[in-house]
Structure 1
Amino acid sequence: MDIEVKERFLKRWSRYFPGAELPIGFYYADSAEPKLLAKPPKGHRCLMADLVKVRKGKTQCFDSGNIGCFGGKRYLGFESELSPDFGYFLSYGIPGKLEGERYKKSPELVAEHLKHQQTFQAPGPCILFKRFDEMEVEDNPLVIIFFASPDVLSGLFTLANFEEPQPNGVISPFGAGCATIVDYPYRELQSSNPRAVLGMFDVSARLCVPSRVLTFSVPWPKFLTMVNNMEESFLITKSWDKVKKRIKKEG
């Protein structure tokens, strides 16, 4: 990471979003220090719960062996296979065998949905999540992830659309919590005009974040544009000053 970019963002974030939580970022690598590896799970464990440590400043590395959820492995690019009963799991289940999450009306609808959510292969054997202020020159984040309240989200959302002629500079696709912070924004990197992704509507993962927090994931090129636009955007207006005071009070 360009340290000048890092310092510029941290300075402007503190100025326009005082007291708001710093974002985290991720990138793939061929290896990582053993001390950074997340502990292998004992049973099911949601990735969003693991990221609580990252949000507090502790870098965490994951691979196919220490992710505690099959969805996490899939949406981080480490596994593509689904269980034969996945359609029932995401819909109404199988009486006496499998409890369904009821996020889709039927297994058939799940099958149609999956046609729009193809898997990708992780470009490296491990993925590192690191808080923005902990990143160094050797770190090259692909996506920056904000865990934010409605007031902070309003600023991020508006800033993401500041330089967009069309109304969809931000998308909010259906998916697991980890899909909306890794899978979808990672795919946006392939676009000539990548969009930000509003997420964390996954009911199963909601208890891993505070009640008033959603995620806002920004592909790196889009993030750079947003940072560069901060000081000529609505953030310098009296309207934002009023919101900023509330963010500072709640921070």
Structure 2
Amino acid sequence: MKSLIIESLKPHLEPMVLLRSNQKPEGALQPLPDKYVCIMSFYAQVAAKGKTAVFDRETYGCSGARAGLGFGSAYGDEMGGYDTFAAFFSKGLKEAKDKEKYKEIANKVNPHVRRKLIKGERFHTSRKKAYKWLTKDLPIYDFPEKYVILKPLKDLKENEIPQSVIFNVNPLQLTALMTLAGSIREGINDTVTPQGAACQMIGAYVFHEAESDNPRAVLGMIDLAARKNIKGILPNDTLTYAVPWKLFLDLEEEAKEGIFKSPLWLDIVE
């Protein structure tokens, strides 16, 4: 589809959509079944090369992506359950509830994951805080559709309604989008920056905002784990700016006469 926002931003990377479907697109990139992988490497291929990627309940890559894509939560079932993940996302072995069990789990995984398990990813200051994020703060969805598809916005068909529209932006483009969103929303805090995985920032957190009468955009790619997996494919200054479909349509309408017509924007781009 055509977009006034894209015509104004002229981004080097593909704006994308995330949508649910019971039909699998032909020729799409897809992780191997039950293969541990960060799906943001697939995301990067869509953004940089205009590919299409597809995921299902056997090919979601990792526990974080299962929650991010709307396939339910694996945090309570995989790798020892919530207690393991709570230590993993905080300070590692030193925060483990059962240190011997935690070491047994760490010894069964590959050296790269083992190192992170022992040291901890340190996204949370304590096991208690990480446990609360896992069980209370992160919105969890389990949609009935079989597939979740990532593809360029330009390839969106007329009868398709995505759950998330994702802009891949540099700081200047982000400034314009945040200004555009702020111009139509009441109040302040027009963009949220949640703690979590990069895939959750284009998925679960956007799904949550879509339930609001006044949805906000979700600023993403603020996940160091994902940064490691997109390095060399996407520029280091790339951030994601993901919005529910309703908000995207409102932003498109305002783009006709909004910030992109301002001398402030025109002086910069011209």
* TM beyond 0.5: yes
Match of 1:178 among 182, 188, 199: 199
Give yes or no for the alignment of 1:198 onto 2:191. no
1:128 counterpart (145, 149, 155): 149
The 5-angstrom pairing of residues 61-210 of structure 1 reads 61-82=54-75, 83=81, 84-94=83-93, 96=103, 97=106, 98-99=117-118, 100-114=120-134, 115-207=136-228, 208=230, 209-210=234-235
Detail structure 1 runs of 4+ shifted over 6 Å in the superposition. none
- Contact 2:17/2:165 (<8 A) preserved: yes
1:47 corresponds in structure 2 to 39
How many pairs align? Answer: 237
CA distance in 1, matches of 2:26, 2:261: 44
**Residue 80 of structure 1: how far off its partner (Å):** 1.5
Pair 190,154 (structure 1): closer, same or farther in 2 beyond 3 Å: same
Confirm or deny: 8 A CA contact 2:63 2:74 kept in the other structure: no
The offset of 1:244, in angstroms, is 2.1
Q: Partners of 1:173 and 1:19 in 2: how far apart?
A: 24
Question: Separation in 2 of the partners of 1:168 and 1:120?
Answer: 24
Listed one character per residue, the Cα deviations across residues 3-29 of structure 1 (whole Å, up to 9, x for unaligned) are xxx33x1x5522x21344331001111
Partner of 1:238: 263
Question: Contact 2:164 / 2:244 at 8 angstroms: preserved in 1?
Answer: yes
Cα distance in structure 2, aligned partners of 1:148 and 1:57: 15
Call closer, same or farther: CA 1:41–1:65 in 2, change over 3 Å: closer
**Separation of aligned partners in 1, 2:34 and 2:58:** 12
- After superposition, what is the alpha-carbon deviation per residue over 1:195-249, rounded to whole angstroms, capped at 9, x for unaligned? 111111111111314210111001001000101101221211221013324xxxx
Mapped contact 2:66–2:74 kept (Cα < 8 A): no
Instruction: Establish whether residue 220 from structure 1 lines up as the match of residue 240 from structure 2.
Output: no
Per the alignment, do residues 138 and 239 of structure 1 end up closer, same or farther by CA in structure 2, a change over 3 Å counting?
same
Looking at structure 2, the residues matched to 18 and 28 of structure 1 have their Cα atoms a distance apart, in angstroms, of 27
Of all paired residues, the percent bearing the same amino acid is: 30
For structure 1, list consecutive stretches of 5 or more residues without a partner in the other structure: 1-5, 246-251
TM-score, length-normalised on structure 1? 0.87
Aligned to 1:229: 254
Once residues 28 and 12 of structure 2 are traced to their aligned partners in structure 1, the CA distance between those partners, rounded to angstroms, is 26
AA at the equivalent of 1:46: C
Please give the alpha-carbon distance, in whole angstroms, between the structure 2 residues aligned to 1:111 and 1:215.
26
